[in-house]
Chains A and B, each alone.
Chain A
Amino acid sequence: MKINSYVRIIVALISLILLSGCWDIKEIDKRNFPLIIGISKENKEEYKVSLHIPTSEKGGKMSRTVSQKGTNVSSILGQLRTNIEDAVYYKQVRLIIIQNKLANDKEDLSELIKFLMKSKELPSIALIAITEENIEKMFSNINGKHFSHTTSIIDYFYKGADWAPEISTTRIWEVYRSLFSYTKDIAIPVVNSGKDTILNYEGAAILKNGKITEKINPSENQFVILFKNHNANGIIENLGNASIMVTNSSLKIKPSMLTSEPIVSSNLSLKIDILERKEGVTNDQIQSKLEKQFKKQFYDMLDKAQKNKTDIFGFGQHFRNQIPFHELKNWREEYYPNLKVNFQVHVIIE
């Protein structure tokens, strides 16, 4: 009886080993964690994948670039794993940069996004960006900057709304969602390597079910972000004779439907700080100028978007409750071109 209880305790203690879940463990210094993956298409058949891997060696370069070509992305990721000295873990990838040529092809891009989302190894929260440059050149540009460290490129996108209101951060799962969504399109940031900075922000590409329909510049992208987050804090506008910064904002959107003609009335109220002004410019002048400028920018964008049948502001989301579900997939084609938006701006100077 006594022996029996000892045996039990020993068995229980041995089974504790199982709790660690270590099947075949690899120490952390023997692993490679690529932080950025660049994907491009060389020609019709061939993909090229580049990894930007930080290294921990002292004195040497802080990161390195590894590239490989192949017929599809998943097999290249597998080959890279074989060829790199240590084990490669893709779970920590924070940014995926897609080359312009690949991104412009609707089929290829949709397939790629689906793969990135379904892959067990790649996290679906990784950010996504498009570049017009050669990816290897871009990575070497990052390495060439003496101030850069491996995480600089991630810091670039995670500045937060207050500091860089023009940059949109778009994740893989959001792009995946937009492949299927009936009522909302998405903006992917476009970046190139900068002369003095690591990256240069060029604006955003608007994706409609996986197809890039238009490109917008950073100040236009502010509006897209404004309608996405309902928040315009930090936007700086140059009005010619004054410049201002938005300190607080609120956006109200009210949809209504008149015999299959959708109408949106949206009220934007801004609290602004005047950063500088020329002599003799009154508050009223600034107010009316700003209101005019915002309105003009917005309507210009809306016109362009309606011509392209791309719902960049996501107005369709507000009509989901008013259009039956089976009609909803016609939103972009039938309803959206007729959409009337009544955009009002109220400016308060603090």
Chain B
Amino acid sequence: MTQRLQIGLVFITMSMGFGFLQYPNLIFKITKTGHFVVVLSYGLLQMFLMIIYKKGLNYFPKQDIIDIYLKMGRWVAFIFLIPYVLNLTALVAMSLRQHAENIGSIFLSRTPDWSILILLLFISTFTAIKGLGTILRSSFFIFFIVNFLVLFVVISSIVNVDFKNALPAYPSSLDFLTKKDFFYLMGFSSILFLGFVPPETKLKFGQLFAEWTYVIFFYLAVVYLPLFIFGQETVVTFHFPAKDAVDSVDINWFIFNQQTIFFGMSMVGLTILLNAVLLWIIGQIIRKLFNWQRNKPSYWICAFSLIAFIFAVSVPNLAWIEKLSLWSAGVHAYFIVIIPFTIFIYGVIANRGMTGYENK
């Protein structure tokens, strides 16, 4: 039971880590009015995919998705999972670089990006090497600390809020559903993680639903905070609207003269856990795909985090990072759609074959 709860917390923390910086920016690009409709329809779509994924996984009670793909055939597993590993590496690299850059601009203005990057990557890699147990246990602390900070940031920003800035409240049309950016949005979710956790402790639908609701409320908060403060006309000019919204708060009596540091601190917590999980997934996939001797996941995790580091450091500037991280999120979105469906379809076919066999 506690493990189930911990998995839920990891799931929530990962989703928050994915979306904290970039999610609002994309939403503001997609629509000019009625932002909550976009967030909610994104939530519904994710929920639908999650149900498909869960249904598919339930056909194979004792297996995670790597086993399922291996069952389909070694080549199928390679075709689906190796690109996924590359995508995860790119995600790790881009998200860490982006976060390093932001954390640097908030409270380490004289420190070069690569040293912040090393620190973040080092902790993430270390956690990933220690395995799922460590990730689950640390998720508990990170979840509570980060959520406390986020809550503080949201509440303290209320002084500058003008609700009228978010009007008109309803969207003029629903054609955002066909936009390319809406597809990118799908990349900000962690549903694939659910297929990698030990099969004995599978989450129930009710719990999944509760967790996803929590995430949606978080996304609504990050989208609406900048909107209430600046309004749609201004908010599109920002790279990281949530950060600028938090930056606008001046609490004279407060010991810290800049409460953006709390925003930065919560980002550190989120990004470390998120990337630890991604690296751990990479390790799992490679370990199961290659049956070599002396094949330890920790070597692979180190190797891939090194690749991610080199990749992240060699990106020249912020405009590039944004473009690349959007692309990697786009590829992630592709996997988020394709993996649940293949698992589900294979589950249906395999199950029908089995029952057919039993009927004979």
Among the 9-residue stretches A47-55, A217-225, A317-325, the one with 4 or more Cβ atoms under 8 Å from chain B is: A317-325
Q: How far is the CB of B159 from chain A (nearest CB, A)?
A: 11
For A174, give the chain B residue with the smallest CB separation: B248
* B189 close to A (CB within 8 Å): no
* A121, A158, A180, A317: the one within 8 Å of B234 (CB): A180
- Residue picked from B33, B119, B167, B244, most chain A C-beta under 10 Å: B167
* B211 close to A (CB within 8 Å): no
Query: Are A321 and B167 in touch, CB under 8 angstroms?
Result: yes
* B230 close to A (CB within 8 Å): yes
Query: Are A182 and B233 in touch, CB under 8 angstroms?
Result: yes
How many pairs, one residue from A and one from B, have CB atoms within 8 Å of each other in the complex?
68
Query: Are A173 and B248 in touch, CB under 8 angstroms?
Result: yes
* A279 close to B (CB within 8 Å): no
* A177 close to B (CB within 8 Å): yes
* B107 close to A (CB within 8 Å): yes
Query: Are A325 and B258 in touch, CB under 8 angstroms?
Result: no
- Residues from chain A with Cβ under 8 Å of B234 in the complex: 176-177, 179-181
* A121, A173, A318: the one within 8 Å of B244 (CB): A173
Among the 9-residue stretches B5-13, B108-116, B350-358, the one with 4 or more Cβ atoms under 8 Å from chain A is: B108-116
Among the 9-residue stretches A16-24, A70-78, A99-107, A302-310, the one with 4 or more Cβ atoms under 8 Å from chain B is: A16-24
Query: Are B172 and A324 in touch, CB under 8 angstroms?
Result: yes
Once bound together, how far apart are the Cα atoms of A228 and B248, in whole Å? 17
Once bound together, how far apart are the Cα atoms of A320 and B233, in whole Å? 12
Q: 1/0 per residue B158-174: CB within 8 Å of A?
A: 00001011011100100
For A321, give the chain B residue with the smallest CB separation: B167
Q: 1/0 per residue A160-203: CB within 8 Å of B?
A: 00000000000101001101111000000000000000000000
Given contacts A23-B112, A320-B167, A325-B33, contact A125 B250 (CB under 8 A): yes
- Residues from chain A with Cβ under 8 Å of B244 in the complex: 124, 173
Once bound together, how far apart are the Cα atoms of A324 and B172, in whole Å? 8
Q: How far is the CB of B346 from chain A (nearest CB, A)?
A: 45
- Residues from chain A with Cβ under 8 Å of B169 in the complex: 321
- Residues from chain A with Cβ under 8 Å of B110 in the complex: 23-24
- Residues from chain B with Cβ under 8 Å of A325 in the complex: 32-33, 168, 172, 232
Q: A125-B249, A179-B234, A325-B33 are in contact. List 17 more A-B contacts (CB 8 A).
A: A18-B119, A24-B110, A92-B257, A123-B247, A123-B258, A124-B244, A125-B248, A171-B250, A177-B234, A180-B231, A320-B164, A320-B168, A321-B167, A321-B168, A324-B172, A325-B232, A328-B168
By a beta-carbon cutoff of 8 Å, the part of chain A in contact with chain B is 18, 21, 23-24, 91-92, 120-121, 123-125, 158, 171, 173, 176-177, 179-182, 317-318, 320-321, 323-326, 328
By a beta-carbon cutoff of 8 Å, the part of chain B in contact with chain A is 32-33, 105, 107-112, 115, 119, 162, 164-165, 167-169, 172, 230-234, 237, 244, 247-250, 252, 257-258
Can you list 11 pairs linking A and B with CB atoms under 8 Å apart?
A: A21-B107, A23-B108, A91-B109, A92-B257, A125-B248, A179-B234, A180-B231, A318-B164, A320-B168, A325-B32, A325-B232
